[in-house]
Structure 1
Amino acid sequence: MDNSQRKKLVDELIGLIEKGNAHVSFKDSVDGLPPELRTVIPENLPYSIWQLVEHIRIAQQDIVDFSASADSPSLAWPDDYWVEPTEQISDEEWNHSLKQIEADQQRFQALLEDEKHDLFTPLPWGTGQSLLREAMLIADHNAYHTAEIVVARRLLKSWK
């Protein structure tokens, strides 16, 4: 793969992670959500929007940490990936989580853009995972839970 093809692939992966292309972006899914609805668990759904946002943050951070280093901490599934329901989340906690999601996407983008990292070669510390696979995992995982956020917002009558 020449540099121009690699750049095209990296740009597509970044666009998929950040924008979603064929679906609502994560940023759009949480934009304008009234603070009082962050922790409400809609009827017949298992999680609040806050829990979904935190799950996206935790899982994405784990994927980025794993992709960047053999020394990343191991999380236990599912306990370490989900937060318990809570009554209220402060603006500071909410904004911190949203900023962390964006910062981790930027960290991963830097890994993808660094030409010393081959996109296809399995990471030496993994079990066959490559940067390409991890990019698709982030995009797929975030898209799945972003859709859940949209559904929750619709049920809470807080969607467009």
Structure 2
Amino acid sequence: MNDKVLRKQLVSLLEGENAHISFEKAVADLPAHLRGVKPANLPYSIWQLIEHIRITQWDILEFSTNASHQSPNWPDQYWPSKDGPASEQVWQASLSQIKKDKQAFIALLNDTGKDLFEAFSYGEGQNLLREALLIADHTSYHTGQIIIARRLLGNWQS
């Protein structure tokens, strides 16, 4: 398999919009008053989904680059306790961190000195390819939930 082609496809997968809308578009222009609202019959708000994506992506990035990284406790430390962000600044910081960490992971993928298939010297056989697929899968799953929540809150047009 052509390593360069695989890396390009993984970056495309992480950036979204192949088979679904991107995370960035899913959260764009969400009114502040809806960020912490839990739609009827859903156990989470859009804020909680965004923070969960941020925490999980950060954890995967750290795991992929730091052998001594200790993951948060599951599930409590992967989900925020509050339904909504404390401020606009907190909201924007979360979105910025998601973008920054995604770009850092993409930089790992674009580093041809890193073997996509080689198991990390720690963990249980994970490798960079597996972690890239995990981020993409996890983020796209929760991006779909964000869109569903926005629809239920009457704030999505497609």
Question: TM-score, normalised on structure 2?
Answer: 0.95
Q: Would you say 1:141 and 2:130 are equivalent positions?
A: no
Partner Cα distance (1:107, 1:87) in 2: 27
Partner Cα distance (2:64, 2:25) in 1: 26
Partner Cα distance (2:129, 2:99) in 1: 19
Corresponding residue of 1:30? 27
Gaps of 5+ in 2: none
Q: Would you say 1:94 and 2:84 are equivalent positions?
A: no
SS of the residue corresponding to residue 14 of structure 2 reads helix
Q: Would you say 1:113 and 2:110 are equivalent positions?
A: yes
1:50-65 map, 5 Å: 50-65=47-62
- In structure 2, the CA distance between the partners of 1:156 and 1:124, relative to structure 1 (3 Å rule), is same
Deviation per residue, 1:90-137 (Å, 9 max, x gap): 111111000000000111011111111100011111101110000000
Task: Tell me the CA shift for residue 17 of structure 1.
Answer: 0.9
Q: Is the 8 A contact 2:108 2:114 kept in 1?
A: yes
Task: Tell me the CA shift for residue 86 of structure 1.
Answer: 3.3
Partner Cα distance (1:119, 1:158) in 2: 40
- In structure 2, the CA distance between the partners of 1:99 and 1:87, relative to structure 1 (3 Å rule), is closer
Task: Tell me the CA shift for residue 88 of structure 1.
Answer: 5.0
Moved over 6 A (4+): none
Superposed CA RMSD? 1.1
Deviation per residue, 1:4-31 (Å, 9 max, x gap): x212111111111112410111001001
Gaps of 5+ in 1: none
Identical aligned pairs, as a percentage? 53
Partner Cα distance (1:59, 1:115) in 2: 25
Corresponding residue of 1:83? 80
Q: Would you say 1:154 and 2:151 are equivalent positions?
A: yes
Question: TM-score, normalised on structure 1?
Answer: 0.94
Question: Which range is displaced more, 73-82 or 39-48?
Answer: 73-82
Query: Which of 16, 19, 36 pairs up with 1:19?
Result: 16
